[in-house]
A = this chain, B = another copy of it.
């Protein structure tokens, strides 16, 4: 594969992720191509179908999630509290909305084995971090990984621009409420 072609491919995935997160999983493929500054044909050459692109986006996000989890695990020993809040903060910024918007729709249909496995591994990683953080009294004992991920996914889903503009710091506020609510009673 030519190096310029590889660069374009990465750009497509990146923009797809951004647009999925911002406007939902059914954005026009042409909009993605436009955002990436490539022709629609280039997108189709790289991804056989919308689902194939969505899979790639999902894999990218899941990979980032695992990386965030690994980093947090490393620093949990020195400062559990800041490791935990930084981790959640980082999850928020991962465009998880794109995950919940696209993956959810393909998960049940024809999900590729690769994605399913990545998803399972990622959840296991989240669970591991939760276990590491729990002794510090930062999270309820009954909170599980799936719940955490879905909660963050839900509050970071595509939001009408009107609301975004009117209440710019809504998400941080909600996150702080969520974090507080996740502490042991």
The bracket for how many chain A residues form the interface is: 20 to 34
A52 to chain B, nearest CB (A): 19
Among the listed B143, B150, B160, which residue makes an inter-chain contact with A163, where contact means beta carbons less than 8 Å apart? B150
How many angstroms from the CA of A177 to the CA of B176 in the assembled complex? Answer: 11
Q: Interface majority SS on A: helix, strand, loop or mixed?
A: helix
The A162-183 residues at the B interface (CB cut-off 8 A) are 162-163, 167, 170, 173-174, 176-183
Q: Is A104 an interface residue (CB 8 A)?
A: yes
A155 / chain B contacts, CB cutoff of 8 Å: 154-155
Contacts A104-B160, A180-B180 known; list 10 others, CB within 8 Å: A100-B160, A104-B163, A105-B160, A108-B162, A143-B177, A147-B174, A150-B163, A150-B167, A154-B174, A177-B182
Write the residues of chain A forming the contact surface with B, with a CB cutoff of 8 angstroms.
Answer: 100, 104-105, 107-108, 143, 146-147, 150-151, 154-155, 157, 159-160, 162-163, 167, 170, 173-174, 176-183, 185
